[in-house]
């Protein structure tokens, strides 16, 4: 894959994922009592809802800033691994309900792979 094609695909993914995570984080922040309640109902501390919501917004923005893309992707991958595990073990509906989290996890992995440092050929 040429570097130009890789760059275009990466930017498309980064843009879509950035929008998805900013929207998800803002939704959690705008309905914080329900988000805290949901986290508490599955055995997680309510304060974690604040952390996840803010991290999703900042991570979504970070995906769009070249200097922070890989760091943002790694942070969001950690969140999505947690979400997938919670869906698989605790949240009613099982992993089928966590399919969006699994898809986001795979796409974040793709961004991380596409934005890996590549040695230039001389």
Q: How many domains does the chain have?
A: 1
User: Is 120 part of a structural domain of the chain?
Assistant: no
3-state secondary structure the chain: CCHHHHHHHHHHHHHHHHHHHHHHHHHHHHCHHHHHHHHHHCCCCCHHHHHHHHHHHHHHHHCCCHHHHHHHHHHHHHHHHHHHHHHHHCCCCHHHHCHHHHHHHHHHHHHHHHCCCCCCCC
The pLDDT value recorded for residue 122 is 58
**Mean of pLDDT over the chain:** 92
User: Is 121 part of a structural domain of the chain?
Assistant: no
pLDDT above 90 for 76: yes
- CB contact at 8 A, 88 and 98: yes
Mean pLDDT of the region 65-84? 96
What is the span of the domain harbouring residue 104?
3-113
Mean pLDDT of the region 33-61? 95
User: Is 35 part of a structural domain of the chain?
Assistant: yes
Q: What is the pTM of this model?
A: 0.91
User: Is 118 part of a structural domain of the chain?
Assistant: no
The pLDDT value recorded for residue 117 is 85
The pLDDT value recorded for residue 75 is 97
Q: Which residue has the higher pLDDT, 35 or 119?
A: 35
User: Is 122 part of a structural domain of the chain?
Assistant: no
The pLDDT value recorded for residue 121 is 62
């Amino acid at each position: 894959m040429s570097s130009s094609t890789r760059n275009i695909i990466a930017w498309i993914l980064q843009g879509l994922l950035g929008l998805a995570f900013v929207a998800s984080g803002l939704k959690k922040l705008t309905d914080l009592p329900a988000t805290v309640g949901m986290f508490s109902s599955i055995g997680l501390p309510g304060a974690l809802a604040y952390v996840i919501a803010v991290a999703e917004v900042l991570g979504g923005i970070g995906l769009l800033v070249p200097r922070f893309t890989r760091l943002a992707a790694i942070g969001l991958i950690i969140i999505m691994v947690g979400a997938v595990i919670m869906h698989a073990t605790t949240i009613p509906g099982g992993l089928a309900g966590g399919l969006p989290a699994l898809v986001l996890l795979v796409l974040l992995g793709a961004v991380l792979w596409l934005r890996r440092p590549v040695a230039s050929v001389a």
